[in-house]
Amino acid sequence: MEKKIIDFLDSNRDIFIDLSQKIHQHPEIGNEEYFAADLLTKFLEEKGFDVERNIAGHETGFIARKQSKNGEYPKIAFLAEYDALPNLGHACGHNIIGAISIAGAVGLGELLDNVSGEVIVYGCPSEEGGENGSSKGSFVRENLFEGVDVAMIIHPGSEHSITKKSLAVNPLDFEFFGQSSHAAGSPENGKNALDALLHFFNGIATLRQHVKSDVKIHGIITHGGDAPNIIPDYTKARFYIRSSTKEGCDDVTEKVEAIANGAALMTGCRVKVSSFQNRVDNLIPTRYFDELYVETMKKLGVEVSMDSKKGMGSTDVGNVSQIIPTIHPNIKICDCNVFGHTHEFAKAAGSIKGDEAVILGGKALALLGLDLILNKEKLENIKENFLSR
């Protein structure tokens, strides 16, 4: 059966590479991935998957299922991402992520007449965030992973490595409301919302001295006023507040909101705090699951680093990892001097190495999924390891 999967993906390699290349050539930002979602869902339907579109408030989200006809069986989830970055294209390689998950799911799905299992592809828009971003948070909130045994996704990078931890994020907008007035003629009648915003930024700068080393607080001013001779009655800032755990993130967020309230009080303004996208939880690795991935890659002739210390970005895969065992390893497409979210990485995502990663990653996920369907003990060990963490 392993040979059937490998032969199938090798004989259809051009099809899966073409999926990746087409998405790479048509970059779409979060929740606007109409081309990519249509491309992937039509292909999955051709391969016998039942597809549901427009998921949990995300028009470009989908869930595709293919299952054996009889009996109880493991449910293996493949997480597909396909959004791009503004002005950078696929500088995080989500064209590769989407194609790997589709290749793995379709490869495993070819054997469902011979084994008892269900393959589920979650089409996950807007991993990079933005308005109503981080769709996996919506999927988790709507209990769409209920009954699923495990979830898998592979991210392109500069090395082959196991799942790394990630930071939780609270994505918040801070809006200050004051009173406009002529800045020279009647400044005494104004309540300066920009002063409130600047006090807020200064307060956060002071807070940074008194937080743990894993805490990151970074933001921008999205509206600072309209004209120098008008006292601003409205200003706005957008912030990411990060920590290594969602509990730590909530603790820091409470302090940041207190600073915002204090800045409003100092200036006679009021403040509104709101989330502009789903919160992102920290990723919890399930080490036994990663060990099985490493063994699978060895079968394919690839050594995977067990180093999990590098890199502490954020991903909404973390939300999924909070409720079911999840792997999120890296697959090499470039040298170590090329970093994500750059034009150089976008180029790598469309390179021959990127194409090879699609087939290698698809084989790894399909073989690992097959292993879990056939070996109930391994699946139970994954679940026990997950619960212990």
Cα–Cα distance measured from residue 21 to residue 93, given in angstroms and rounded to the nearest whole number = 11
Crossing angle of helices 376-388 and 287-299, rounded to 10°: 140
Task: Tell me the per-residue pLDDT of 12-60, one tens digit each, with 9 for 90 and over.
Answer: 999 999 999 999 999 999 999 999 999 999 999 999 999 999 999 999 9
Query: Residue 260 pLDDT > 80, yes or no?
Result: yes
Is residue 125 within 8 A of residue 31, CB to CB? The reply is yes
Q: Are 339 and 346 in contact (CB under 8 A)?
A: no
pLDDT given for residue 85 in this prediction:
97
What is the DSSP code string of 111-160? TTTTS--EEEEEEE--TT-STT--HHHHHHHTTTTTT--EEE--EEESS-
State the Cα–Cα distance between residues 229 and 221, nearest whole angstrom: 19
Q: Is the pLDDT at 307 greater than 90, yes or no?
A: no
pLDDT digits (tens, 9 = 90+) for 135-156: 999 999 999 999 999 999 999 9
Checking DSSP bridges between strand 50-55 and strand 75-81, what pairing results, if any? unpaired
Per-residue pLDDT at 71 exceeds 90: no
Architecture of domain 168-275: 2-Layer Sandwich (3.30)
CATH no., domain 1-166+281-388: 3.40.630.10
What is the tens place of the pLDDT at every residue in 209-222?
999 999 999 999 99
pLDDT bracket for residue 72 (50, 70, 90): confident
pLDDT at 310 over 90: no
Task: Give yes or no for a contact between 31 and 58, defined as CB atoms under 8 angstroms apart.
Answer: yes
Both structure tokens of 333:
């497409």
Q: Which pLDDT tens digit goes with each residue over 84-99?
A: 999 999 999 999 999 9
- What three-state secondary structure class fits 66? strand
Task: Give residue 311's pLDDT band: very low, low, confident or very high (50, 70, 90).
Answer: low
Domain boundaries, the chain: 1-166+281-388, 168-275
Above 90 in pLDDT, residue 389?
A: no
1-166+281-388 and 168-275 have identical folds: no
Cβ within 8 Å of residue 265, ≥6 positions away: none
Pairing of strands 234-243, 168-177: antiparallel
The Cα 340–Cα 350 span in angstroms is: 13
25 closest CA partner among 99, 122, 79, 80:
99
Given this model, what pLDDT does residue 160 score? 97
